[in-house]
Amino acid sequence: MSRKKIVLYQPQQVDRGIGPRCSGDMLPLEMLCISSLLVREGYEIQIIDANLYDEEEGHRRAVEACEGALLYATSGILGYMVTDGFNCSTKVKAEHPKLPMIIGGWFASVRPDLQLGTGLYDAVVLAQGEFSFYEVVKAIESGTKFDDIAGLALWRDGQVFKTEKRPVVGWEKLPNLPWHLIDIEPYREMQLRSDSHRQILRMPTPPAIGSRKPYFGITYFSSYGCPEPCTFCCSPIVTDRRWKAMPADRMLDDLADLKERWNFDVVRFHDANFGVMQKRVKEFADGMLSRNLKFHWNAFLETHSILSYKPEVLDALAASGLYIAEIGAEAGTDQMMSKIGKPISGDDNINAAVEMDKRGVCSSVTYIIGYPGEQPDSMIATIDQCRRLHVAAPLARPTVWPYRPIPGTVMWDQAVSMGYRPPQAIKEWGSIGEYHLEETWPGKIPPHVAERRKLYQHFVTLSYGLARGKIGWWEKRAEKRLRENNFKGALWEARAFDVFNRVEKKLRPREEVSRSWVDPGHKTGTAGNAASKSSKAMTGATHG
Ligand code: B12
């Protein structure tokens, strides 16, 4: 049996207990990253992506793979990944008590105490992982201590001990991802099922392919970190506001190779901030066009980046296949925005969405209300900016979500000092990830604001034709209300629609319509419930 076998477990993204699978385009990028240096040296790397299996099956495979392995490692982002990672690691530990176990990723980086306190792990790899993990593997192999390896958190005398901080490295030091480690077929198969539009976190089908038609997409990673200082996001603390990006040409070469090999339709960039450098963005778009590379793509782009790009760069982005710009609009007042720290003011968010709209690109725009100390009039102003953005940029899908505290952020400390009670046990941290279903910090949004938000969501959902799969009398009325900012008698109208809709559905049964367009990055509640008692559509999409 190989002594150089490394088992990497990518936890489930979503709790299968609450719905369908996670979108099949989400490749285990973290695991590919940390394999990249080791695979060159002949290590046998086995990645078990739990999203491909039922929960028990994923765990069983991980436990089995660990037989004769050198080490086991896993990852996780706040949310269900944390719970599933814990569950799997617990089973691995029970079967292989002597096997070294390592964890890394965003949640472990901000709460190493919780992960090390489980007694499961020998070390937490903090932040960027490639080099730290490489050195950890070498240390395990040679039986040396971890203390001299930079970028780790270790458990010493019941406390966290952090080794020297590791500076963020650039892509010139990092190899391309070892894509051959994954078998793409199960990902493709999952996405080409006729009901794949229902998968959680599925991005909408590019309009050129056809509404709700299955498509084959992959995730891709071309930059690490983010230069923004956002106080609700943990990236500034984890990555020191460094941003390291792969040069456009290298990215194009790699994607061209992959396209040749896998022939995907869509690339979903999982960079925190794809568009920091206009030059790179321009080179990428121009390169797509000059190489005649054909795929649709979406990425996180900031409002101020979009507004700083030259018109011809925006044109090239659209021409090269950009079909969704994911924009973190965050807040609708200058005062709140300055507390967040993003260089956005006035109607910048609206103007950016209009620039995209003009070029046929959908902006998936997320606003947040209920930040620590935020006043109700500020929240109402945010909902109103969201409404105005919808009116000004009809292709855009702007949404407003309640704030959720994220550990390792400036606002986390504020929330805790204002009475937010974080979960204690690691499993509770996982369950708060089902952020589509519950408010993480209830009671922070006054009832009149919550009602306005629900009414906005109700009318906007209706106006897209998502409730009934068509645009009729109710839909046109909804759009008129949004255009005129008229919420008089709106609650009664929403309730009346709910009753009408239920009766109509009984008389003429119809297929449920996907609402992924409301918030392409995330699953939301069911149509028509926005003004009802259900708070299913609550979430907190707080990407920087
Ligand atoms: C893309 C993205 C998403 C995607 C995909 C997430 C996924 N699970 O793959 C979507 C839209 C689904 C998503 C959802 C959410 N996300 Co998100 N997301 C991101 C984003 C923009 C990039 C993360 C990413 O995939 N990068 C690509 C991979 C390759 O890189 P990576 O994970 O950074 O991996 C490197 C290191 O972390 C490390 N590493 C990672 N794992 C491991 C494991 C080992 C063993 C080792 C050694 C190293 C290691 O090495 C890698 C290479 O250097 C970050 C923001 C950012 N600044 O990066 C937020 C971020 C990770 N998300 C965040 C949050 C909070 C969420 C949500 C809870 C939503 C919310 N706002 O409430 C949900 C829940 C996710 C879930 N449970 O699955 C937080 C993380 C908070 C935390 N402390 O865990 C971030 C940092 C943003 C923020 N607002 O602060 N997200």
Residue 528, SS3 per DSSP: coil
Q: To which H or E segment does residue 41 belong?
A: none
541: pLDDT strictly greater than 80: no
Q: To which H or E segment does residue 351 belong?
A: helix 348-358
Asked whether the beta carbons of 469 and 517 are under 8 A apart, the reply is no
Mean pLDDT of the region 218-227:
97
Asked whether the beta carbons of 424 and 113 are under 8 A apart, the reply is no
Residue type, 13: Q
468-506 pLDDT, tens digit per residue, is 889 999 999 999 999 999 999 999 999 999 999 999 989
The best mutation among 77, 202, 271 to test binding of ligand 1, ranked by most ligand atoms within 8 Å of the C-beta, falls on 77
5-165 fold: Rossmann fold (3.40.50)
Asked whether the beta carbons of 12 and 51 are under 8 A apart, the reply is yes
17: pLDDT strictly greater than 80: no
Place 529 in a pLDDT band, splitting at 50, 70 and 90.
Answer: very low
CA 478–ligand 1 middle distance (angstroms): 36
Name 22's bridge partners.
Answer: 200
**Which numbered atom of ligand 1 lies nearest the CA of 74?**
45
For residue 520, what pLDDT is reported?
Answer: 37
CA 105–ligand 1 middle distance (angstroms): 7
Those residues whose C-beta lies under 8 Å from the C-beta of residue 95, and which sit 6 or more positions away, are: 63, 66
For residue 513, what pLDDT is reported?
Answer: 59
Measured by CA distance, the residue closest to atom 87 of ligand 1 is 543
Residue 328, SS3 per DSSP: strand
CA 236–ligand 1 middle distance (angstroms): 13
243-280 pLDDT, tens digit per residue, is 999 999 999 999 999 999 999 999 999 999 999 999 99
CA 223–ligand 1 middle distance (angstroms): 13
Strands 217-220, 266-269: pairing is parallel
CA 537–ligand 1 middle distance (angstroms): 22
**Which numbered atom of ligand 1 lies nearest the CA of 408?**
83
Asked whether the beta carbons of 436 and 538 are under 8 A apart, the reply is yes
126-178 pLDDT, tens digit per residue, is 999 999 999 999 999 999 999 999 999 999 999 999 999 999 999 999 999 99
187-404 fold: TIM Barrel (3.20.20)
1: pLDDT strictly greater than 70: no
Place 185 in a pLDDT band, splitting at 50, 70 and 90.
Answer: very high
User: What are the angstrom distances between the C-alpha of 303 and each of 30, 276, 345, 362?
Assistant: 27, 11, 10, 13
Place 533 in a pLDDT band, splitting at 50, 70 and 90.
Answer: very low
Q: Which of 346, 308, 353 is nearest to 327 (CA)?
A: 353
Please report, for the chain, the start and end positions of each structural domain, with discontinuous segments joined by +. 5-165, 187-404
CA 149–ligand 1 middle distance (angstroms): 23
CA distance 320 to 360: 12
Q: 365: which 2 tokens?
A: 């725009």
Equal fold, 5-165 vs 187-404: no
CA 417–ligand 1 middle distance (angstroms): 26
Q: Which residues line ligand 1 (CB under 6 A)?
A: 13, 26, 29-30, 33-34, 73, 75, 77-81, 102-107, 110, 125, 128-130, 133, 201, 221, 224, 226, 233-235, 270, 272, 300, 404, 406-408, 433, 435, 521, 540-544
Residue type, 237: I
Q: 49: which 2 tokens?
A: 């992506």
Asked whether the beta carbons of 480 and 487 are under 8 A apart, the reply is no
